[in-house]
Amino acid sequence: MRVLVLTNLYPPHHYGGYELLCRDTVAAWRTRGHDAVVMCSDHRVSGRSDGDEPDVERTLRFYWRDHELLRPSPLGRLALERSNRKEWTRTLDRVRPDVVSVWNYGMFGFPLLAEVVARRIPLVLVVGDLWPCWGPGFDPWTSMFVRSPHRRVIGRIVERVTGIATRFPDLGAHAVALPASEWLRMRIARDSPFTFARMTVVPHGFDTVDFPIVDPRNETDETFGWQLLLPGRLDERKGWRTAIRALVDLPEASLTLAGGGDEREIAAVGAVAAESGVADRVHHVVLDRPEMAARYRAADVVVFPSEWDEPFGIVGLEAMACATPVVATGTGGSSEYLHHESNCLLFPPGDPHALAASVRRLAGDASLRHRLVEAGQSTARALTADTTVRELEAWHAKAITASSL
């Protein structure tokens, strides 16, 4: 099959595991004999060279720069959408895809998807966050034309003159939606303006090449070294403040934050650590994914202290593959694989004392650590990226078949 992948961020210019799974899936599809072209934004992450594989086009513009949402003037929005329409239609005409696979779509305007629907190309949404809920309300372009009958009339005129859609496409009838968790599926069904006739959960697995499932007998030590690891992009919603403040109750422990973030977030980490009196025990590193497995294995505990509803979250799965105990909040979709007293310990979001108590409990109970790690291995084996890739491949093929009936 010929697949055109649409996403706003694509490695190496990315910030999280969702984008890495997209790249892994594209690579796997190509290995399986499919043609896959990727089209994404022109955003660049400072300090990273493109390093692109073939057929990756970074020509689209979106309403986001350097962790800030953009609200350009109406003329600025027109210029952005005109540029995107030119690049998008050119690529659609060249690739002639059997199916369009949409991944990280937030901060794009909806005219891109409207063009796919207008051409009746099969459309699959691999949904890793709530953009089908908040995206329509954010879209700076389409929102100018849908808020009143008067504006809708103006929108029709603009659409005829420019060729740029000013109405939301009927994604519910046209697209297959594949949310990463049951939590996401329920939220989309409840809160999205699109009513999807076809929506099925496909969990997002972790990469077993960079995170091979290790033998826990070789990795689990009777000693406890008080090394805590918090992987992932620096985002206040991820609970890093709680993790730092937990160190006040854990004078033996040190914490490594392993993930990128903007300069303000990095500065805030230092400020909170200093304010809490633990600055000498908080470390921040930015590592590529192949370097992370060794960090997981060297840690005594991986903390996953999210304070927002995680759409799914694969940090816990990577830790389980590396035979490291997990202490987490289990918010949102992550609750579907994180089970208290079975494969992890859960604590209430935003409670540094409870986090510290869970870590101290693990430190004092080697049998508990062994039990959580063994159960975590079973969880990891069931949720690998290989399984995700196969399921996504099947759903994209089904979408193509259904369109031909």
On whether residue 210 sits in a domain, the answer given is no
Question: 188 and 88, same structural domain?
Answer: yes
The confidence score (pLDDT) of residue 256 equals 98
pTM over 0.85: yes
Over 70: is that where the pLDDT of 51 sits? Answer: no
Question: 375 and 390, same structural domain?
Answer: no
Question: 235 and 198, same structural domain?
Answer: no
Domain span holding position 15: 2-205+385-404
The CATH number linked to 151 is 3.40.50.2000
The confidence score (pLDDT) of residue 288 equals 87
Over 70: is that where the pLDDT of 219 sits? Answer: no
Over 70: is that where the pLDDT of 227 sits? Answer: yes
Question: 263 and 322, same structural domain?
Answer: yes
Question: 254 and 188, same structural domain?
Answer: no
Average pLDDT on 269-276 reads 96
The residue written with tokens 């491949």 in the block is 393
User: What burial class does residue 74 get, using C-beta atoms within 10 Å of its C-beta: 0-12 exposed, 13-18 middle, 19+ buried?
Assistant: exposed
Question: 70 and 191, same structural domain?
Answer: yes
Question: 295 and 146, same structural domain?
Answer: no
Mean pLDDT of the chain: 94
Question: 234 and 181, same structural domain?
Answer: no
The confidence score (pLDDT) of residue 47 equals 72
Over 90: is that where the pLDDT of 128 sits? Answer: yes
* Distance between CA atoms of residues 209 and 40, nearest Å: 25
Question: 155 and 47, same structural domain?
Answer: yes
Q: What percent of the chain has pLDDT over 90?
A: 86
pLDDT tens digits, one per residue of 101-115: 999 998 999 999 999
Positive or negative CA dihedral for 91, 93, 94, 99?
positive
Question: 292 and 263, same structural domain?
Answer: yes
Average pLDDT on 240-253 reads 98
Number of structural domains found in the chain = 2
pLDDT tens digits, one per residue of 298-318: 999 999 999 999 999 999 999
